[in-house]
């Protein structure tokens, strides 16, 4: 008895596919480490730093979301890490959160890594696998519960300026708000091989590793200058949030 069925159980199929895809031949592992810095020095929560607007600021809390990881092979083809396993919260206060282990990467030579800052708000949540990231985002305070959205970066601390002489709190929460305010950014950094005449190789059984530096000072001083005093509370901000997102898009670099 032969029967034809239109099977729409897409999710099951897709989930299973993702599991299959990770079973590549000669899978290798890439350990990514995120290191938050101010200019060239390792960030210390609570230390004072100065921005170009002559404001002295501390960072008491720093978290951001990394997503949608893709590696570029030497031949230009892409290795797309399973999207629904591709959401991470990097929290300065939690050392574990700063290293991300990517398993099941096809062995080979790679030139670059691309990742998302935040969560791509244009993608359908089922398609992009963000729904299962909700509990993590919630537990780390990165869920904008009132809008069912995500904070892409949470940066909080205290500051003084020429006009604000008493240490005062500032707060920067940049995320997306529907399709109107899209602060998601794709960021690509080159992978750095041990020496300039070798390739960045991921091989079976060997853990390749790469440290990615996030220069937090660029939040204030990148392509755009953000004075804290100008707006010490940036949340749903159609003017400043995109400026900050643009600054952040050039704040990541591979450690040489």
Partner 1 sequence: MNKLLHILGFICFLSCGSDNEDYTLIEEEGIEDTQSENPLLDFSVPSNFPDLTYDVSQNPPTEKGFELGKKLFYDGQLASDGVVSCGFCHIQSFAFTHHTHITSHGVDGLIGRRNAQPLHNMAFMNEFTWDGASTFLDSQPIIPITAEVEMNETVSNVLNKLRDDPNYPALFAEAYGSEGINAERMFKSLSQFMLMMVSANSKYDKWERGESITFSEQEEDGRVLFQEKCASCHAGTLQTDQSYRNNGLPLDPQYNDMGRTEVTGLTDDIRKFKVPSLRNIEITFPYMHDGRLGTLEDVLDFYTDGIVQSETLDPIFTKPSGSIGLEMTAEEKSKIIEFLKTLTDTDFLNDQSFAEF
Residues near partner 1 (CB under 8 A): 1-17, 20, 121, 124-127, 129-132, 134-135, 138-139, 143, 145-149, 177-181, 236-239, 241
Least CB distance to partner 1 at residue 63 (A):
17
Minimum CB distance to partner 1 smaller for 213 or for 241: 241
The H or E element that residue 249 is part of is helix 240-249
Minimum CB separation of residue 85 from partner 1 in Å reads 13
Minimum distance, C-beta of residue 120 to partner 1, in the bound complex (Å): 12
Q: From the CB of 93, what's the least distance to partner 1, in Å?
A: 19
Contact by Cβ (8 Å): 119, 37: no
Q: Which is nearer to partner 1, 39 or 127 (CB)?
A: 127
Residue closer to partner 1, measured from CB, 99 or 123: 123
CA distances from 212 to 41, 113, 115, 228 (A): 13, 10, 11, 26
Query: Encoding tokens for residue 169?
Result: 């709190």
User: Whose Cβ is closer to partner 1: residue 160's or residue 183's?
Assistant: 183
Selection from 161, 44, 146, 129 nearest residue 93 by Cα: 44
Q: How far is the CB of 52 from partner 1 (least distance, A)?
A: 25
User: 12 vs 206, which CB is nearer to partner 1?
Assistant: 12
What is the DSSP secondary-structure string of 89-141? Answer: EEETT-GGGGEEEEEEEESEEEEEEEEEES--TTS-HHHHT-GGGHHHHHHTT
């Amino acid at each position: 008895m032969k029967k034809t069925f239109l099977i729409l159980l897409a999710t099951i199929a897709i989930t299973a596919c993702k599991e299959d895809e990770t079973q590549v031949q000669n899978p290798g592992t890439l350990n990514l480490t995120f290191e938050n810095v101010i200019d060239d020095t390792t960030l210390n929560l609570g230390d004072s730093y100065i921005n170009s607007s002559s404001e002295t600021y501390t960072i008491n809390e720093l978290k951001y979301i990394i997503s949608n990881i893709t590696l570029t092979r030497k031949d230009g083809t892409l290795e797309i890490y399973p999207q629904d396993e591709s959401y991470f919260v990097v929290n300065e206060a939690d050392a574990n959160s700063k290293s991300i282990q990517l398993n099941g990467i096809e062995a080979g030579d790679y030139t670059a890594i691309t990742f998302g800052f935040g969560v791509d708000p244009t993608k359908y949540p089922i398609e992009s696998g963000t729904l299962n990231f909700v509990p993590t985002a919630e537990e780390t305070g990165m869920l904008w519960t009132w809008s069912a959205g995500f904070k892409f970066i949470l940066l909080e601390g205290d500051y003084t300026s020429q006009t604000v002489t008493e240490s005062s709190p500032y707060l920067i929460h940049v995320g997306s708000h529907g399709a109107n305010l899209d602060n998601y950014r794709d960021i690509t950094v080159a992978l750095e091989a041990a020496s300039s005449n070798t390739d960045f190789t991921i091989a079976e059984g060997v853990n390749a590793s790469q440290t990615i530096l996030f220069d937090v000072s660029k939040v204030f001083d990148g392509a755009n200058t953000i004075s804290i005093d100008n707006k010490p509370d940036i949340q749903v901000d159609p003017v400043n949030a995109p400026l900050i997102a643009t600054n952040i898009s050039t704040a990541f670099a591979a450690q040489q």
